[in-house]
Amino acid sequence: MVDTSNWFDALSETRQRKLLASQREGLWIKVQGQKLLNFASNDYLGLSTNPQVCAAAKSAIDSHGLGSGASRLVSGDDPLLHEFEREFAAWKGFEACLMLGSGMLANMGLLQALADRHTHIFSDKLNHASLVDGARLSGAKVHRYSHLDLNILETQLQKNTAAKRIIVSDGVFSMDGDAADVQALIDLAENYDAIVVIDDAHGTGTVGVDGKGLVGQAGLAGHVRLLEVGTLGKALGSYGAYILGSASMIEGLKQRMRTLIYSTALPVCVLAGAKQALNIIQQGDFIKKLHHNIEFFLENTQGLRLLPSQTAIQPILLGSDKQALDAAQKLREAGFFVPAIRPPTVPQGQSRLRITLSAVHHKQDIDGLIKALHAL
């Protein structure tokens, strides 16, 4: 008889992941009874607890109820989805937009729909797991290139004769905070007749004075070879994801994406909150505040082993799993919640602390964290 208690191989103590049942209270987070300042959230503008955003979501619950009840292809296709897709596409400068249940669903469904076993996918080695899994699911031949190494990517493209080629990259990299050169990727796509998928989950709402992200900043919005993906669960403070592209590409995805067709539609309350968050982002003040906080952090952390990043994601490289766990524990003792990130999320020997800054952190909060980091 199968022994289910031994189904999974045992993980070492430092490799085990723990779900901590942590409770967020604005800037704070309660973890195992201890109240800590939260530097571990992707809520980069603090909009997930913004009163106007929450009021919009509450009012949508009053009018529409909680869940959407079915897939968009059945009865879950509320008009607000279409309205928000039009608004989001116009803001980002693309012809069309498709909203999905989450970033994981968006990327897995997108690559599965775009590619098949005859397609070749060229993927940055540090791409998010959702892109890695989407590529696997598609059955495409995958070529991984060293992180941000465009020479290797070009060599791979030069040697390749496939009819359909897709370059896939995070925009702002989730565990490193550095950024893809979107213009260079588009140049390569033009030279080697490929298309480009950029996942700017961490750039949207944080990069550029208008928060339009890396693609907008590079002036490439709406480029015919480009599809942009991102999430509503980070700077927009809500949940869900978007895909942006040409009208014909988005229509093709609607016909083929299994994670759209076979998954319950986003609830209206979640969309209403995201829509209000977008209004706030367009006013600009929150992004300005986030950029000031990033500048302040960078000015005062010289001498620490920070990875090169100009974004809200500021990782400190430590090395072993134990070093990262010990550092995270010391920060907890000092009152700060900063996660230790370990393999397989990052490469072996590159365990790190991942600090995320938010527009709603106060100077004294960041200053306190910086002092604790120097003390480490």
Ligand X SMILES: Cc1ncc(COP(=O)(O)O)c(C=O)c1O
Instruction: Give rounded-to-5 percent helix, strand, coil for the chain.
Output: 40, 20, 40
Bridge partner list, 314: 355
- Closer of 104 and 235 to ligand X (Cβ): 104
Instruction: Using CB under 6 A, count the residues that bind ligand X.
Output: 14
Q: What are phi and psi of 71, to 5 degrees?
A: -65, 160
> Rounded CA gap, 365 and 316, in Å?
18
Q: Which of residues 165-184 bind ligand X (CB under 6 A)?
A: 170, 174
> Rounded CA gap, 300 and 127, in Å?
29
102: annotated active-site residue: no
- Closer of 100 and 268 to ligand X (Cβ): 100
- Closer of 88 and 373 to ligand X (Cβ): 88
Q: How far is the CB of 227 from ligand X (least distance, A)?
A: 13
> Rounded CA gap, 329 and 219, in Å?
42
* Residue among 130, 138, 311, 314 that touches ligand X (CB under 6 A): 130
- Closer of 110 and 372 to ligand X (Cβ): 110
> Rounded CA gap, 195 and 223, in Å?
10
- To the nearest 10°, report the CA torsion of 81, 87, 91, 97: 40
Site string for ligand X, 49-88 (x = CB under 6 A): ----------------------------------------
Q: What are phi and psi of 294, to 5 degrees?
A: -65, -45
Q: Which among 50, 86, 308 has a CA at the least distance from the CA of 317?
A: 308
Q: How far is the CB of 44 from ligand X (least distance, A)?
A: 12
Choices 23-31, 98-106, 279-287, 305-313 (CB under 6 A): range interacting with ligand X: 98-106
Q: How far is the CB of 10 from ligand X (least distance, A)?
A: 27
Q: How far is the CB of 282 from ligand X (least distance, A)?
A: 22
- Whether the upstream peptide bond of residue 344 has omega within 30° of 0, thus cis, is yes
- Alpha carbon separation from 135 to 13, 161, 188, 189, 204 (Å, rounded): 31, 19, 20, 18, 23
* Residue among 213, 233, 237, 267 that touches ligand X (CB under 6 A): 233
Q: How far is the CB of 42 from ligand X (least distance, A)?
A: 7
48: annotated active-site residue: no
Task: Find the catalytic residue in 169, 174, 263, 358.
Answer: 174
For ligand X, which residue has the nearest CB?
A: 103
The helix or strand, by DSSP H or E, that contains position 220, with its residue range, turns out to be none
Q: Which of residues 240-279 bind ligand X (CB under 6 A)?
A: 241
> Rounded CA gap, 147 and 132, in Å?
14
Q: What are phi and psi of 317, to 5 degrees?
A: -80, 130
- String of DSSP letters for 139-150: T-EEEEE-TT-H
* Residue among 89, 108, 126, 201 that touches ligand X (CB under 6 A): 201
What is the token pair recorded at 77?
């296709």
Q: How far is the CB of 100 from ligand X (least distance, A)?
A: 9
Q: Does 103 bind ligand X (CB under 6 A)?
A: yes
Q: Which of residues 181-200 bind ligand X (CB under 6 A)?
A: 199
Q: What are phi and psi of 257, to 5 degrees?
A: -75, 115
234: annotated active-site residue: yes
Q: How far is the CB of 41 from ligand X (least distance, A)?
A: 11
Residues labelled as active-site residues? 174, 202, 234
The residues binding ligand X (CB under 6 A) are 102-104, 107, 128, 130, 170, 174, 199, 201-202, 231, 233, 241
